[in-house]
Chain A
Amino acid sequence: MNRGSDLMLLIGSSLFFFMLASLVMMSQALQNSEFFNSYYSILIILNGLGLISLIILIIFNIKRLIRQFKNKIIGSRMTVRMVMLFSILSVTPVLIVYYFSLDFLHRGIDSWFDLRVEQALDDSLELSRLALDVRMRELLNMTEKVATELNESNESELPFIVDQIRERINAYELTLLTRKGVVIASSSIDTESLIPVTPDKNILLQLSQGNNYIGLDVIKDTNLLIRVVTNLPTKNIDKEARLIQTLFPISERMNQLAESVQSSYIEYKELSYLREQLKISFIIILTLVLLFSMFSAVWAAFYSARKLSEPVMNLAEGTKAIAAGDYSTRLPVPGNDELGFLVSSFNDMTDRISEARDSVKQSQLEAESQRNFLETILSRLSSGVIVLDGNGNLEKYNTSANQILNINFDILEKKNIRILIKELPYLTDFFECISSNIQEQLDEWHEQITLSNKTGNLTLMINGAVLLGSDGETSGYVIVFDEITALIRGQRDAAWSEMAQHLAHEIKNPLTPIQLAAERLRHKYLSTMNAEDVEMLDRMTNTIIQQVDTLKEMVNNFSDYARSPEFNPEDIRIEHLIQEGHDLFSNMEDKSEIKMDVDDELPLIRGDEKKLRQVFNNLLTNAIDANEMGAGHHLTISAKGIDVNNIHMVEIRVRDNGPGIEVGVVNKLFEPYITTKQKGTGLGLAIVKKIIDEHSGTVWLENNNDNNGACAVIRLPAIDQLIQTTKSRII
């Protein structure tokens, strides 16, 4: 833009100075400057071309301005106003000056010419003629006398006589010639001139008609000469008619005066004749000057308006750029004036905004980094974390929160805790706990709750704290909760295991002596007692022995549960174990219908085959026992590969058609000595749970959706997942 502007200035200035010089030269030419006079026409043409160029320049500017105006380019309206204002301000006085100049021009040129001056010049010319006429008449008389004298002269002496006469009458030249103009004799004061001046055809014609000729002639390069031509008197009719021509010089003074009068007369006449042309010429020059001034002013108006509006346009563009987020815009400072100060201030402002933006961006990046850091930590935390804002709306949560509560918080984001209580009835206790603690405005609180659902109980340890904002006011709440179900269960299992070992040890020891003592009593007194007593002793001792056996079995079961046999892992195809269990129980129970639904390609698992076989036996036994009162057993064993949180697992489901499990005990059934059956030790499911835990799997019981029986679900990690887990542990 600057380059274009500079070019425009250069072109405009060049044109301006060129036209100015051209107009000055034209003015000089009109003032009869010899040098410029010869270039007058060229100067007019050049000025015309200059004007046309100026007009083209202005048209170009106008077109550009109109285009900018139509396109609503910023600053175009201001430029239009400024151009119009500048143009009016500059053109108006020029037009006024032009109008009065024209008037003065007409009056001034007309005032050069005065009738009295013209009359005086005519009179002076007439006076000069009269003065010369007197002298010419004298010379005519003298020439006529000379003609008579020559007519009487001897032909042979004519050249000498002519010369003598010329000298006598002080003529410049005296020539005797025929009427056809043939020179007979001549004498001249100019000795260098060999050829005499002869009268032209018109003079000869005039003489042939018998008239004399007298006139002022300019002959050769001399001053004015009086030429007198007269016929010689005819002596002999046969003789060819002759004539004599005399040239008389005029006195130097008279010549000067005559020339002066004549030149003044000519000049005045010429000037008078040229009056109108002179006016036209001056008007042309004046008009050229007017147009030149006007167009120059208009062009200057364009240039100035553009120069003035340019910083404003730049400011507007800069503002737009800043509004669009571009803070790198630097505007050229136009100068040290107020606009320059404004633009400079704008640049400073841009710099500061840019710095502030960079600072904010840096802070954002840091905050983002901090947030990512926190989110990474949160996502890796096994504890569930929920953040609520000051109004109790859900702000943040981590994946563990989703997993522990088995819900998707994504769809609950920004929802108020009150709404969550209503929308999530199975988590009512959880959110009620949080809500009540928030309402109590406690800075920190801890609470343990147990949630129950169809898959069992979920024990959570909830810790809450108030988040304080920069103003010290409550800005939100953070709730951290852990599932401690397994921990409690583990503690309980450990206690049970310890108690089982202790019981086994304490109970098993006296059982054998009791049993031996009973058998001894039986052996010693059975043969010696009467029949009535024998029957009673037999019944009593049998009862003791049977109950001792039962107690032994119970103690052995306790012992088995408490003892941790060696774990011998190997790659197992789980479908083979399922098939074995199916075959075993299908043959044992006639009225059982056991279906198998196993995927063709189940992944391998790593585990102890014996222990897993016991798991299936226990589960199938439980399933059959669950429908003791039913007409028939309809069991289904299914197995399939699944992905749980990107972990490949094998899911085995053992489904019965029994009465189902009460919700209150569904999670307790895996605890030792808890059973809903009439008979049984209550250790079957506890052992299942223990074995599955040893295999890094999960097991739970759930009621079927169709309210027809319950289902035991086992999930065991597939072998590739195990390898990964192992590797990660090694690392």
Chain B
Amino acid sequence: MSFITNNIITFSIILILSCINYSSIANTAKTDSIRIYLDKNTYYLDALCDIELSEEAYRALRHGVSLEIHIHFQLRSKRYWVWDKIISEKILLYKLEHKPLTENFLATDLSNGLRHSYDNLEAALNHIKTISKMSLFNQDHLIEDKVYIARIRAYLDIESLPSPMRPQAYFSSNWKLSNKWYSWKLIR
């Protein structure tokens, strides 16, 4: 399987945003992998996250361990003396599990309970990593011409793993998160 790397679980978000477009995110912002746009006073996000499982994570999945993947979006307002103010925040919670009877991979959206069954992992991961028209926030939340920082990351929630696995997951590179925030500027 090409989507399985040898030693890491990499939840890297390929959000390649052109610098040229930073200032042009007035109504819509679009790149190859991310698009943030305004529709009827509401900002929406389309994104494609590249989520890869390590061999160990795949083995755990095949052995009935369900994995919880979070996609976390934040819009922050820069403050110099204290920490940044969070204007808006959204978290998409997905559970990925393997069903041995049907040999399917089940992706469940934990926010609404909708389940999607796929006969291969790639399809299930595609479902999770594809964000389509996620409602973010109302335009009124933003002050005109003010620069905001939008950022997004995806990560495996180690706390959702069975408790015996957690200590190892915290210290093992096989379960290490690659959950660096991907940030970009947003101006109304």
Residues of chain A whose beta carbon lies under 8 Å from any beta carbon of chain B: 29-30, 32, 37-38, 40-41, 44, 125, 128-129, 132, 200-202, 215-221, 224, 258, 261-262, 265-267, 269-270, 272-274, 277-278, 280-281, 284
Chain B residues with Cβ below 8 Å from A219 are 115, 117
Is the Cβ of B100 less than 8 Å from the Cβ of A281? no
Residue on B nearest A284 in the bound complex, by CB = B167
The 7 A-B pairs of least Cβ separation, nearest first, read: A273-B63, A266-B64, A270-B64, A281-B164, A216-B102, A277-B164, A40-B163
CA distance A30 to B114 in the complex (A): 30
**A-B pairs with beta carbons under 8 Å apart, 25 shown:** A29-B163, A30-B163, A32-B163, A37-B163, A40-B159, A44-B167, A200-B118, A200-B123, A202-B123, A215-B102, A215-B104, A217-B102, A218-B104, A219-B115, A219-B117, A224-B102, A262-B99, A269-B64, A273-B63, A273-B65, A277-B162, A277-B164, A278-B164, A281-B163, A284-B167
Closest CB in chain B relative to A280 CB, distance in Å? 7
A-B contact count (CB 8 A): 92
Is the Cβ of B168 less than 8 Å from the Cβ of A221? no
Is the Cβ of A217 less than 8 Å from the Cβ of B104? yes
Chain B residues with Cβ below 8 Å from A201 are 123
Is the Cβ of A269 less than 8 Å from the Cβ of B63? yes
Chain B binding surface SS class: mixed
Is the Cβ of A218 less than 8 Å from the Cβ of B106? yes
CA distance A613 to B140 in the complex (A): 139
Closest CB in chain B relative to A39 CB, distance in Å? 9
CA distance A221 to B106 in the complex (A): 12
Known contacts: A202-B118, A218-B115, A262-B100. The answer to whether A274 contacts B166 by CB under 8 A is no
**Most B CB within 10 A of own CB, among A37, A219, A261, A274:** A274
CA distance A40 to B161 in the complex (A): 11
CA distance A270 to B61 in the complex (A): 9
Chain B residues with Cβ below 8 Å from A220 are 114-115
Chain A residues with Cβ below 8 Å from B123 are 200-202
Is the Cβ of B117 less than 8 Å from the Cβ of A273? no
- 11 further A-B contacts with Cβ under 8 Å, apart from A44-B166, A132-B101, A284-B167, are A200-B118, A200-B123, A202-B120, A215-B104, A217-B104, A218-B102, A262-B100, A265-B64, A265-B101, A272-B63, A277-B162
Chain B residues with Cβ below 8 Å from A202 are 118-120, 123
Closest CB in chain B relative to A172 CB, distance in Å? 15
CA distance A224 to B123 in the complex (A): 19
CA distance A30 to B99 in the complex (A): 24
CA distance A270 to B62 in the complex (A): 9
Find residues 67-126 in chain B having any chain A CB closer than 8 Å to their own CB: 99-102, 104, 106, 113-115, 117-120, 123
Is the Cβ of B113 less than 8 Å from the Cβ of A221? yes
**Most A CB within 10 A of own CB, among B65, B101, B159:** B101
Is the Cβ of B164 less than 8 Å from the Cβ of A125? no
Residues of chain B whose beta carbon lies under 8 Å from any beta carbon of chain A: 59-60, 63-65, 99-102, 104, 106, 113-115, 117-120, 123, 158-159, 162-168, 170
Chain B residues with Cβ below 8 Å from A44 are 166-167
Residue in A40, A221, A261, A272 whose beta carbon sits within 8 Å of that of B115 in the complex: A221
Chain A residues with Cβ below 8 Å from B113 are 221
Chain B residues with Cβ below 8 Å from A274 are 65, 162, 164-165
Chain A residues with Cβ below 8 Å from B65 are 270, 273-274
Residue in A29, A132, A277 whose beta carbon sits within 8 Å of that of B165 in the complex: A277
CA distance A215 to B167 in the complex (A): 38
Is the Cβ of B119 less than 8 Å from the Cβ of A215? yes
Is the Cβ of B100 less than 8 Å from the Cβ of A269? yes
Chain A residues with Cβ below 8 Å from B101 are 125, 128-129, 132, 216, 224, 258, 261-262, 265
Closest CB in chain B relative to A652 CB, distance in Å? 107
CA distance A218 to B114 in the complex (A): 10
Chain A residues with Cβ below 8 Å from B167 are 41, 44, 280-281, 284
Known contacts: A38-B159, A281-B163. The answer to whether A217 contacts B64 by CB under 8 A is no
CA distance A105 to B159 in the complex (A): 25
Chain B residues with Cβ below 8 Å from A258 are 101
Is the Cβ of A40 less than 8 Å from the Cβ of B166? yes
Chain A residues with Cβ below 8 Å from B117 are 217-219
Closest CB in chain A relative to B118 CB, distance in Å? 7
CA distance A125 to B166 in the complex (A): 29
Chain B residues with Cβ below 8 Å from A284 are 167
Is the Cβ of A216 less than 8 Å from the Cβ of B104? yes
Residue on A nearest B120 in the bound complex, by CB = A202
Chain A residues with Cβ below 8 Å from B166 are 40-41, 44
CA distance A278 to B65 in the complex (A): 14
Residue on B nearest A45 in the bound complex, by CB = B170
Closest CB in chain A relative to B13 CB, distance in Å? 22
Closest CB in chain A relative to B45 CB, distance in Å? 22
Chain B residues with Cβ below 8 Å from A216 are 101-102, 104
Chain A residues with Cβ below 8 Å from B164 are 30, 274, 277-278, 280-281
Known contacts: A40-B166, A273-B65. The answer to whether A266 contacts B114 by CB under 8 A is no
CA distance A218 to B59 in the complex (A): 22
Chain B residues with Cβ below 8 Å from A128 are 101
Is the Cβ of A267 less than 8 Å from the Cβ of B64? yes
Chain A residues with Cβ below 8 Å from B59 are 273
CA distance A281 to B168 in the complex (A): 9
Residue on A nearest B100 in the bound complex, by CB = A265
CA distance A621 to B59 in the complex (A): 149
CA distance A41 to B167 in the complex (A): 7
**Most A CB within 10 A of own CB, among B59, B65, B102:** B102
CA distance A29 to B170 in the complex (A): 17
CA distance A304 to B166 in the complex (A): 39
Closest CB in chain A relative to B26 CB, distance in Å? 34
Is the Cβ of B99 less than 8 Å from the Cβ of A218? yes
Closest CB in chain B relative to A200 CB, distance in Å? 6
Is the Cβ of A125 less than 8 Å from the Cβ of B100? yes
CA distance A81 to B28 in the complex (A): 78
CA distance A265 to B103 in the complex (A): 13
Residue on B nearest A213 in the bound complex, by CB = B119
Closest CB in chain B relative to A557 CB, distance in Å? 129
Chain A residues with Cβ below 8 Å from B168 are 277, 280
CA distance A217 to B106 in the complex (A): 9
Chain A residues with Cβ below 8 Å from B115 are 218-221
Residue on B nearest A268 in the bound complex, by CB = B64
CA distance A262 to B106 in the complex (A): 14
Chain A residues with Cβ below 8 Å from B100 are 125, 262, 265-266, 269
Residue on B nearest A222 in the bound complex, by CB = B115
CA distance A217 to B100 in the complex (A): 12
Chain A residues with Cβ below 8 Å from B119 are 202, 215
CA distance A267 to B66 in the complex (A): 11
CA distance A128 to B158 in the complex (A): 33
CA distance A281 to B161 in the complex (A): 13
CA distance A9 to B102 in the complex (A): 61
Residue on A nearest B163 in the bound complex, by CB = A40
Is the Cβ of B170 less than 8 Å from the Cβ of A41? yes
Residue on B nearest A218 in the bound complex, by CB = B117
Closest CB in chain A relative to B91 CB, distance in Å? 16
Chain A residues with Cβ below 8 Å from B102 are 215-218, 224
CA distance A329 to B123 in the complex (A): 86
Closest CB in chain B relative to A137 CB, distance in Å? 16
Residue on B nearest A282 in the bound complex, by CB = B164
Chain A residues with Cβ below 8 Å from B120 are 202
